[in-house]
Amino acid sequence: MRRCSNCDALLPDQSVFCGNCGLKQEPLNEKICSKCSKPMPIENNFCPHCGISTTINSEMAEDTSTKNPPTTESPSSPQINLKTTNSNNAIPLSTYDLDPYILSEIDNFKFSFTQKYAEFNGRASRGEYCRYILIETLLLVLVIAIGLLITYISKKPEYVFYGIVLFNVVCFLPTLAISTRRAHDLNNPGWTSIILFIPYINTLYSLYLLLKKGDTTPNSYGYPTSFEIITPQISEEKDIQLSPDSGSATKFILTIIVLIGIIVAAFVSMDSNKFPSNTTKSKPSKSATTVNTSKTVSLSESNPQSTSTPQPAVQPENNYIEQSTNALRSYYDRLNQKNFNGAYALLSEQQQASVGYYNTWRNGYNTTLNVTLTSTKVLSANPNQVIYEYQLHAKDSINGRVKHQFFTGNVTMERVNSTWYIKDQDGRLVSSYFE
């Protein structure tokens, strides 16, 4: 709003003639804030310096206070004028210098994560909220990617879980705070943010916060935020980046999609690299089940379908070979006895990570009737590790028929604190037939 230079009447900023006296008005390129008296672009509805609204309501309030200056009242008179003045300023102004500006994605996230880490008062515009969620999603995908890399190196899948939990703990408070301010921007009470903790409904509520346009005028929770474009002068003065262009969000979304693709490829690669390329796909959990062990042993049992290799005699000084062999036999004995917990305990942590979680590994034996270690041959041995070449005979119930399968491969036994475990194992299908 502006005033006529002749009669001081209140006029719209774009008026050409005064509606009161008819005087032609000079065009304006900027206007003066009625609160802080600083210049601003003529098209702004809010002052970028103090955040006050420059709509007709604020101008009318100023006009009323100018033409009706407060008078001195006696101590016994009621404070009517004071209450009226306070009601005009009942809506709080912005308390942060950067509230009026449309910040870049990085500056927006830093501003919300530092200065507004636990700020539940005020408002957050749709753009401010969307840019925060965009960067938060990108960081979460990076955490998952790093967790997968550590898992691939250490063979311990729990690092992905730990990373996600730690990320959620760190981001919980600022995310809840900006969600509350976003609800305020829609003139909704902040407690509605608890909907984010209700499964299924939280998805719809999140879309509501992301897509619903907020109030363009002051509401019960304050003035709008993120409405002023950052000029080069403001960028240099405030040490912030220019406002984001239309393609910046697209770049971040494409980055997230690429990272998700890398994560999916990593999952597929980790799953396919569990066994050698010549390993059978039909019996991965039986033929390729590995247990951490460090020694190797020779052992033979009769089997008409496989050729037994003569085993070297175990010398008294090679008791560790006998111990590792007994541990390997015990593993298959427990499988035949359906003692899956006991068998899984004979796998090293590395091998457990390789074959998958317990339930996944156990489901691989749902159709198994019997598994027999028919022969073993020591390839190398020392007191802490023994490597065998083995042959295996498995019987499975397939559609009411018994299927015989014969596997061969290498298994490494490793001793940890006087206990032998299967450290690594590979296998390939040699032959099979139905009864």
- The 10s digit of each residue's pLDDT in 323-336 is 889 999 999 999 89
Locate all alpha helices (DSSP H) within 221-315, ordered by sequence: 232-238, 248-272, 284-287
Residue 300 has pLDDT above 60, yes or no: no
Place of tokens 């002749």: 6
Check whether residue 110 and residue 242 sit in a common domain: yes
d(CA 205, CA 202): 5
Q: Of the ranges 70-79, 109-118, 294-303, which is most confident?
A: 109-118
Domain enclosing residue 312, as ranges: 284-434
- What is the number of helices (H) and of strands (E) in the chain? 13, 10
**Which of 19, 43, 70 is where one domain is finished?**
70
Q: Dig out the tokens for 325 from the structure.
A: 């062999």
Query: Is residue 14 domain-resident?
Result: yes
| Arithmetic mean of pLDDT, 231-242 | 90
Check whether residue 289 and residue 241 sit in a common domain: no
**Which of 271, 296, 325 is where one domain is finished?**
271
Check whether residue 303 and residue 425 sit in a common domain: yes
Query: Is residue 9 domain-resident?
Result: yes
d(CA 263, CA 257): 10
Q: Helix, strand or coil for residue 165? A: helix
Check whether residue 17 and residue 41 sit in a common domain: yes
Check whether residue 138 and residue 20 sit in a common domain: no
User: Are the C-beta atoms of 190 and 196 separated by less than 8 Å?
Assistant: no
Q: pLDDT (tens digit, 9 = 90+) per residue, 92-144?
A: 555 788 998 999 999 999 999 999 999 999 999 999 999 999 999 999 999 99
- Among the listed residues 286, 251, 246, 260, the one whose alpha carbon sits nearest the alpha carbon of residue 405: 286
Q: Helix, strand or coil for residue 219? A: strand
Check whether residue 248 and residue 291 sit in a common domain: no
Q: pLDDT (tens digit, 9 = 90+) per residue, 381-411?
A: 998 899 999 998 999 888 888 999 999 999 9
The partner residues of 416 in beta bridges, in order of sequence, read: 419
Check whether residue 301 and residue 260 sit in a common domain: no
- Among the listed residues 342, 322, 333, 336, the one whose alpha carbon sits nearest the alpha carbon of residue 413: 322
Check whether residue 265 and residue 408 sit in a common domain: no
Q: pLDDT (tens digit, 9 = 90+) per residue, 157-195?
A: 788 889 999 999 999 999 999 999 999 999 999 999 899
Check whether residue 361 and residue 309 sit in a common domain: yes
Query: Is residue 384 domain-resident?
Result: yes
Query: Is residue 26 domain-resident?
Result: yes
d(CA 210, CA 435): 62
Check whether residue 115 and residue 178 sit in a common domain: yes
**pLDDT confidence of residue 390:** 93
Burial of 242 (0-12, 13-18, 19+ CB in 10 A): middle
Query: Is residue 364 domain-resident?
Result: yes
Check whether residue 256 and residue 288 sit in a common domain: no
As for how many domains the chain has, the answer is 3
Check whether residue 302 and residue 390 sit in a common domain: yes
Between 25 and 275, where is the model more confident?
25
Domain containing residue 430: CATH number = 3.10.450.50
User: Are the C-beta atoms of 385 and 302 separated by less than 8 Å?
Assistant: no
Query: Is residue 87 domain-resident?
Result: no
